[in-house]
Structure 1
Amino acid sequence: MNFLKLFLVLAMVMAITLSATTTETSQLPHADREMPTSFRGAGRFLGQKPRPFLTCDRRPEICSMKGSQGPFCCNKKCVDVETDKFNCGKCGKKCGYSKICCEGKCVSPLFNHKHCGRCNHHCRKGKSCVYGMCSYA
């Protein structure tokens, strides 16, 4: 019986202490409150206010803004279908192993004389592209 009384008194003291702390923190200005445990949507620096998470499927105009990865929206991401290996020429078209996306087409930079080693690197007339280099060996 004494244990039960002690337990109830201890529970009441904890409840009063908890409610007093909650009241004090709710009266503090926003900057003095504790940070949330989730940082999803937070800016680069922890002191910044969280920014809303925007995707191009809901707001396609963000793909045409300065600093965007590309003008097309594929799988909620802005991409350039002319150069993106995972969306080459159209959304969802992936280039195979050792191929890159040049001008919206999957090409092998190891043996393509128009895209030797990288996009739009032409080998001179009469030279061949071998292992991504013009006139290898």
Structure 2
Amino acid sequence: MKALNIFMVIVLFMALAITNLSATQSQDEEDRSQVEPPSVGVTNRFRAQKPKKRCVNVTTDRLNCGKCGRMCEYSEICCKGNCVNPMSNKWHCSVCNNGCDKGSKCLYGMCSYA
């Protein structure tokens, strides 16, 4: 009978310790997720980045337009190595190489709008 009581105390102590340890680990994970934002696959164009040696197409890549490291502005796309605004560029209206007809203008990404 005394051995059974000792066994029950040990089992309860172990259950309490496991529950406490589990709660502490989950709290640490929550604190870590609030402090460190996930960084896998995330790029930030305002933060300095180490140059990576990789192949890029400098005629169409917004982050390497015309030459490595030359970034286009937010509203621009890279067409033939030049940063252009597709909402107003007559030769690249809405997409690259979509020229407007003679006498029409590109406005809001459409030729002869209005």
Counterpart for residue 51 of structure 1: none
What is the alpha-carbon root mean square deviation over aligned residues?
A: 1.1
Could you report, residue by residue, the CA deviation over 1:40-72 in whole angstroms, capped at 9, with x for unpaired residues? xxxxxxxxxxxxxxxxxxxxxxxxxxxxxxxxx
In 2, Cα distance between equivalents of 1:84 and 1:106: 10
Question: Equivalent of 1:119, from 82, 96, 113?
Answer: 96
Matched, 1:77 2:63: no
Gaps of 5+ in 1: 1-73
CA distance in 2, matches of 1:129, 1:121: 10
Q: TM-score w.r.t. structure 1 length? A: 0.45
Q: Report what 1:110 is aligned to.
A: 87
Letter paired with 2:112: S
The alignment-based identity, stated in percent, is 59
| 1:131 shift after superposition | 0.7
3-state SS, counterpart of residue 79 of structure 1: coil
Secondary structure class of the residue paired with 2:83: strand
Where do 1:1-137 residues align within 5 Å?
75-137=52-114
Name segments (4+ residues, structure 1) moved above 4 Å: none
Alpha-carbon distance, 1:120 to partner? 0.5
Render the CA deviation track for 1:4-57: whole Å, top value 9, x for unaligned.
Answer: xxxxxxxxxxxxxxxxxxxxxxxxxxxxxxxxxxxxxxxxxxxxxxxxxxxxxx
Larger RCO of the pair (alpha carbons < 8 Å, separation 6+):
2
Letter in 1 for 2:73: G
Query: Which ranges in structure 2 are unaligned for 5 or more consecutive residues?
Result: 1-50
Higher helix fraction (1 or 2): 2
2: CA distance, partners of 1:102 / 1:125: 20
C-alpha displacement of 1:76: 1.8
